[in-house]
Amino acid sequence: MSDGSSTEMLVTILRAEIAALGPGDRLPSSRDLITRHGVGPVTVSRAIALLAAEGAVVTRPGSGTFVAVRRPRQSGGAADTSWQAVALAGRPHVPGADPGAEPGGPDGSSTPLPAGTISLSGGYLHENLQPTRALGAALARAARRPDAWHRAPAAGLAPLRAIFARQAGAGVGPEDVLVTGGGQGALSMLFRAIAAPGGPVLVESPTYPGALAAARAAGLRPVPVPMDDDGIRPDLLADAFAMTGARLLYCQPTFHNPTGTVLSPERRRQVVDVARAAGAFLIEDDFARHLGHGRPVPLPLVADDRDGTVVQLTSLTKAASPSLRIGAVIARGPVMGRLRGMRLVDDFFVARPLQEAAVELVSNPAWDRHLRTLATALRERRTVLADALARELPDWTVAGLPSGGLHLWVRLPSSEPDTAVADAARAHGVAVNAGRRYFPAEPPAAHLRLSFAAAADQAELTEAARRLAVARAGG
């Protein structure tokens, strides 16, 4: 008898035996089946594999083979994926991945809003603020290059690395730059490269929710360090390093998300010194480098760092388009070797046509014109929204007018929960971000983050404030 027919015969016999058993009952061992049915061990293994593929049995190494729970076949209803809860047990849970979570992922910007809703949420420019024509022209020029579809170097195209190096300061060279596919993926890579799972990572409180999600997905424990009007407090940062033994700080020194704070000049040196004294890395998220409102933007922390303490993360995405997923990590020393190694494991390289388009965009005079126009538009929108809030909701406190970035950080009266306010706002046609998701621990007060860059125009910002007042009044 052939192996195939022996396997089929044994499968038929076992199906009959399984029908007489209950879920969880144990089948005879492989040795018993070999002896009882006069077949070889290969036949038994194949038969059990076929039954497992059918869902009739489950195998548990070291324990045996058991009758599976019989699930009724569904003809059009929702599939039963409840088994995944067991299979995923023990893996880090990523907040925001739940179907019922606040729309838009880490920055609340990916889920389409209902028609007529004014967006004060999200972390990207409205389409009419994006340099759409310049982007299209840059992509067209890039596509005409004869090597546009060749494999890109793992570290990124040399001209693009040079652009990011010049942007960072005179002390940074192209060899210190690794081109990345935007900021969020690079942030996830940095957390995995630098910190061991289960370890602490110090973060400003409040901070960017995408950083909290990436840290937790990497198995890290975010530890809050309070801020004030001048940024993260160096004294409490030193205490946090001493108490936790952390070897990593994540911070946003320039146009902090969500508060818009700029780390004061004296603290910029202090924070780096505190991290260096602790033998720790400092991830500088410089996402808003191109989002100033017209005043000079401070140099990044990495510009004055000579010891490899600072690892800078920057991006072109925020000032251009959500789909220009081009950023860079700037690092010195062994950590850069580790990051390059992870690049080869994760994705090999960033798509060359997109890198070529980024070079074309940033090297063209239209880019500088766009940034000047954008600075004016953001400054005007910021002022319009702040003034409208002062008129319509005078007891809501705007935490200072930021000199860059995309958001206002608003403190609510103590009697108004931020999630309830956000829900009421959405019901009245305004999307806002509840503040509690920006805190790694219990929030000290209720806040909203309001974007002045996501709405279509200044009139929408004024109307949004009016709707918020109506929602607050219960109208």
Q: What average pLDDT does the chain have? A: 90
Evaluate if residue 1 carries a pLDDT over 60: no
CB-based contacts of 390-395 (< 8 A; 24+ apart in sequence):
391/465, 392/465, 392/466, 392/468, 392/469, 393/465, 393/468, 393/469, 393/472
- pLDDT reading at 319 higher than 70: yes
pLDDT > 90 fraction of the chain, expressed in percent and rounded = 70
The sign of the CA dihedral 295, 300, 303, 304 is: positive
- The pLDDT value recorded for residue 107 is 56
Q: What per-residue confidence (pLDDT) applies to 71?
A: 67
Model confidence pLDDT, tens digit, residues 231-274 = 999 999 999 999 999 999 999 999 999 999 999 999 999 999 99
Q: pLDDT tens digit string along 95-123?
A: 554 443 444 455 555 567 888 999 999 89
pLDDT per position as a tens digit, 332-356: 999 999 999 988 888 899 999 999 9
Q: Which token pair is 27? A: 């089948």
Give the pLDDT confidence score for residue 6 in this predicted structure: 85
pLDDT for 36 beyond 80: yes
pLDDT digits (tens, 9 = 90+) for 213-231: 999 999 999 999 999 999 9
Residue 285 has pLDDT above 80, yes or no: yes
Nearest CA-CA partner of 154 in 370, 6, 319, 329: 329
Written as six digits, the tokens of 426 are: 């959405």
Distance CA 146, CA 2 (A): 59
| Confidence at residue 92, expressed as pLDDT on a 0 to 100 scale | 62
Q: How many whole angstroms separate alpha carbon 35 and alpha carbon 3?
A: 16
pLDDT at 84: 75
Tell me the per-residue pLDDT of 168-188, one tens digit each, with 9 for 90 and over: 987 899 999 999 998 888 999
Query: Which pLDDT band, with edges at 50, 70 and 90, does 313 fall under?
Result: very high
Q: How far apart are CA 177 and CA 191, in angstroms?
A: 17
Domains in the chain: ranges and CATH: 3-67 (1.10.10.10), 107-128+367-473 (3.90.1150.10), 131-364 (3.40.640.10)
- pLDDT at res. 286: 95
Instruction: For residue range 367-378, list pLDDT tens digits in order.
Output: 999 999 999 999
DSSP β-ladder status, 310-315 and 430-431: unpaired
